[in-house]
């Protein structure tokens, strides 16, 4: 089991957001977590990434058998966990390439590997950038500096492709993308599909799932997973919305 979330309770500022999440993700799988606004999807993604503003009030998370919640954010990343941010922050003055290189080297160091060769690294970046159809100007710019919403999301996927995480959680990476950008992002996600890795897509809409076929779909609402199923559940949600699930949960 790559990721096992058991009865996870999380509160923010005294308010309970997650009320007992259970989720198991195996290597090689793609999961989609869907749900209405305010259901706790982003909270789940952020807590797993190690955000300190959230308080875990109960439950556990294991990642390859390790207690994920005991690790600080930077160690989670080095262990092979990746969060694609819903709103990637701009960091003027910190170069994109430098960040990627430092991130890759941090991961390599944790794995007992030597630092990446500068020349090979640049070749790798260029290859991945080409794959993601990103412009050369990216190389000289600050992290996400002046990027459009779509460029920021593409940059998240680029980082993911360079870091090759074991588990990637992509938080609404599809929102705000036009159809071409959505295809490119999907291509990036699909290229990471591998028997040794897993991807969790957090999304509002079914559209992304037309391009990245999930093995399992979960509906998160009110801080709980109300229903899980296969890809057909996403289609059903697209047609019927979330209300029928919420009603049946109350009942």
Partner 1 sequence: MSVALRSFEAQYRERPADGLDVWRDAAMQRLVELGLPTSRDESWRYTNLRALQAQRYTAAQVAGPAATGAPADATAWLTDGGRIPSVVLVDGRLRDAAPALPEGIRVHSLRELAAREPQRVARHLGLPRDTDLRRWELLNTALFSDGLLVEVGGNADHSLCIAHVASANGTASAVHPRIIVELAPDSRATLLEHYLDTGAGTSLCNSCTQVALGAGARLEHYRVFAAGATATQIDSLDLVQQPDSSCRLYTIALGGELLRTALDARLAGAGALLESHALLVGHGSRHVDCAAVVTHAAPATQSRQSVRAIASGTSRVITNNKVIVAPGAIHADSQQSLRGMLLSPTAEIDTRPQLEIHTDEVRCAHGATTGRLDREMFFYLLSRGIDRDTAQSLLVFAFLGDVLAGMSQGAARAAIEGALITQLPDADRLKDFR
Per-residue contact string for residues 61-100; x = within reach of partner 1 by CB under 8 A: -----------xxx-xxx---xx-x--xx-xxxx---xx-
| Rounded-to-integer distance, Cα 187 and Cα 20, Å | 33
Please identify, using beta-carbon distances, which residue of 167 and 219 lies nearer to partner 1: 167
Residue carrying the six token digits 């996403």: 234
Residue 113, interface with partner 1 (CB under 8 A)? no
Please classify residue 250 by burial: count the beta carbons closer than 10 Å to its beta carbon, then call 0-12 exposed, 13-18 middle and 19+ buried: exposed
Q: How far is the CB of 43 from partner 1 (least distance, A)?
A: 14
Residue carrying the six token digits 């995480």: 165
Q: How far is the CB of 143 from partner 1 (least distance, A)?
A: 8
Task: Please choose, out of 58-66, 102-110, 188-196, 233-241, the segment that lies near partner 1 by the rule CB under 8 A.
Answer: 102-110
Which of 5, 23, 49, 134: binder of partner 1 (CB under 8 A)?
Answer: 49
Beta-strand runs (E) in the chain: 3-12, 15-25, 30-34, 55-63, 66-67, 81-84, 91-95, 142-143, 167-171, 198-203, 216-221, 224-229
Q: How many residues bind partner 1 (CB under 8 A)?
A: 31
Please identify, using beta-carbon distances, which residue of 10 and 34 lies nearer to partner 1: 10
Find, among 157, 145, 154, the residue nearest to 96 by Cα. Answer: 145
Beta bridge partner(s), residue 218: 33, 228
CA gyration radius, the chain: 18
Please identify, using beta-carbon distances, which residue of 45 and 182 lies nearer to partner 1: 45
Q: How far is the CB of 232 from partner 1 (least distance, A)?
A: 33
* Positions in 152-191 near partner 1 (CB under 8 A): 159, 163
Q: Site residues (CB under 8 A) for partner 1?
A: 49-52, 72-74, 76-78, 82-83, 85, 88-89, 91-94, 98-99, 101-103, 106-107, 110, 142-143, 159, 163
């Amino acid at each position: 089991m790559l990721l096992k979330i058991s009865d996870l309770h999380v509160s923010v500022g005294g308010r309970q957001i997650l009320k007992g999440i259970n989720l198991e993700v195996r290597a090689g799988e793609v999961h989609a977590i869907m749900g209405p606004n305010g259901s706790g999807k982003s909270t789940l993604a952020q807590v797993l990434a190690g955000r300190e503003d959230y308080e875990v009030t109960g439950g556990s998370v294991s990642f390859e058998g390790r207690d994920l919640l005991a690790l600080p954010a930077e160690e989670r990343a080095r262990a092979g966990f990746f969060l694609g941010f819903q709103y990637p922050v701009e960091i003027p003055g910190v170069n994109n390439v430098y960040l990627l290189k430092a991130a890759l080297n941090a991961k390599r160091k944790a794995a007992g590997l030597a630092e990446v060769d500068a020349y090979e690294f640049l070749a790798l970046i260029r290859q991945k950038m080409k794959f993601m159809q990103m412009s050369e100007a990216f190389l000289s710019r600050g992290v996400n500096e002046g990027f459009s919403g779509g460029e920021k999301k593409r940059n998240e996927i680029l980082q993911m492709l360079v870091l090759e995480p074991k588990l990637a959680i992509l938080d609404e990476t599809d929102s705000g993308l036009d159809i071409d950008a959505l295809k490119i992002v999907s291509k990036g996600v699909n290229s990471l599909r591998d028997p040794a890795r897993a991807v969790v897509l957090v999304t509002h809409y079914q559209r992304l799932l037309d391009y990245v076929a999930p093995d399992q779909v979960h509906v998160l609402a009110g801080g709980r997973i109300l229903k899980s199923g296969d890809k057909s559940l996403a289609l059903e949600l697209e047609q019927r919305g979330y209300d029928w699930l919420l009603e049946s949960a109350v009942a």
